Copies of this chain bind each other. A is one copy, B any other.
Amino acid sequence: MSTERERDGKSSRTGTFGDYGGQYVPEALMPAVQELEDAYERYVLENEDGFMDEFRERMREFGGRPTPLQRADRLSERYDREIYLKREDLLHGGAHKLNNALGQVLLAKYMGKERIIAETGAGQHGTATAMAAAHLDMPCEIYMGRTDVNRQRPNVYRMRMNGAEVNPVEAGSGTLKEAINETMRDWATTVERTHYVIGSVVGPHPFPKMVRDFQSVIGTEARKQIQEQASRLPDSVVACAGGGSNTMGTFHAFVPDEESAEPRSADDSSGQSPREHVDLYAVEAGGSSLEIDEDEGLAPNSATLSTGTDGVLHGAMTKLLQSTEGQIMESHSVSAGLDYAGVGPELSHLVETGRVTPASVDDEVALNGFHRLSRLEGIIPALESSHALGFLEEAHEDLGDLVVVNVSGRGDKDLETVLEETEKRDLAAAPDVEVFDQ
């Protein structure tokens, strides 16, 4: 949240990260996007009217920040190295999503907008937005694919309880991609008085930066906490990646921690040697396979960073799951929140430059990760976060002696899915699910 502005503020192509990013939106939305850019710079970057102070205070009192960084005793023992968990599952609403939702709804308020819209896939971003909108007294409508509405009922109820309207989107396969399309259409119609709260570090500039900045509290806290608790920086930081908001939120503070980097500025109060190197791992959903079925337009995974190609979707140039002709694929993951064919442009850039290492684990490894954390640590993680935990199991030997894993959310929302998916498989880490039907 520092020097970016000067770098990207007023160039002809604003808001890019190397080749990625940009503002590929209909003309009707450009003025709103620019208005947002301006508001982002003033309120978020420059704390005008004390915006960031209010944001931080509300995140403390309403959201429950800071979240703990917890040493995972039994995982540490299992992997014979120090494992720390960043506990975003404890944030109000049950996931990191509120960091962003509250930031944007508050910003909309500062901008004088009268109405909030948002898309949601699994419903996590929708519930976070509905909570933030209720808290800040803003009317709110959430677009959600029909398939998702039907399979994520509890989240639909939560949004409605918070007073939000939920609009089912009947188009296409009725999932996240269609919900985003439809929210953009609403925005194109009502743009003058409406703010569109995008749910991840995707979309046109300034969304990827702004969402990252709202989420960067995760890594800022974690970096400070690990220095206090383990007296040094971690060797590796691991986070799952769908759109990449928990990922960028966790990584942002660590990106400068490179062996080859310039020494940190003198006012870095950490007092740490600038030469500690922190590896960053973005773990995507490997789904059932990394192979793509071009004919059917189906990718049975959401491993965009590992297998995607460059293109433009939902306002930004980034890595995508697409056919050679440019049609966007239906992605797949057992975890609805990772089930997206795109990824944030900054993450594409950091992967391209080698700063972030992309990885993926398949549905089964993620399910085992879910069960393992539940049984060993008494924390039921979101299926999204379970991908980071599955990766830890697979790759711990390469992660050094001190590892931070972001637990982006809690798994209460996933119980039914996990039961169903567990019953289909023979999972090493699962309890005996058959006896659940007592």
Question: Which residue of the partner chain, among B67, B73, B134, B433, contacts A374 with CB atoms under 8 Å?
Answer: B134
Q: Is A230's CB within 8 Å of the partner chain B?
A: no
Contacts of A379 in B (CB 8 A): 92, 131, 135
Closest to A150 in B: B438
- Complex Cα distance, B273 from A191, in Å, reads 54
Contacts of A377 in B (CB 8 A): 134-135
- Complex Cα distance, B60 from A144, in Å, reads 36
Q: Is A142's CB within 8 Å of the partner chain B?
A: no
Q: Is A195's CB within 8 Å of the partner chain B?
A: no
The answer to whether A71 and B64 touch across the interface, beta carbons within 8 angstroms, is no
Contacts of A149 in B (CB 8 A): 438
Contacts A92-B90, A161-B375; A61 near B69 (Cβ below 8 A): yes
The answer to whether A412 and B90 touch across the interface, beta carbons within 8 angstroms, is no
Q: Is A274's CB within 8 Å of the partner chain B?
A: no
Q: Which of A87-122 contact B (CB under 8 A)?
A: 87, 89-92, 94
CB distance from A57 to the nearest CB of B (A): 10
Q: Is A171's CB within 8 Å of the partner chain B?
A: no
Q: Is A415's CB within 8 Å of the partner chain B?
A: yes
- Complex Cα distance, B134 from A67, in Å, reads 21
- Complex Cα distance, B163 from A376, in Å, reads 8
Interface string of A132-152 (1 = CB under 8 A from B): 111111000000000001000
Q: Which of A196-212 contact B (CB under 8 A)?
A: none
Q: Apart from A62-B378, A89-B92, list 11 A-B contacts with CB within 8 A.
A: A60-B68, A64-B64, A94-B412, A131-B379, A156-B436, A158-B415, A161-B380, A161-B415, A163-B375, A168-B438, A412-B412
Closest 6 A-B residue pairs measured CB to CB? A134-B378, A135-B378, A131-B378, A163-B375, A64-B90, A61-B70
Query: 10 A–B contact pairs at CB < 8 A?
Result: A61-B71, A62-B70, A64-B67, A130-B378, A134-B378, A135-B378, A160-B435, A162-B375, A163-B374, A166-B438
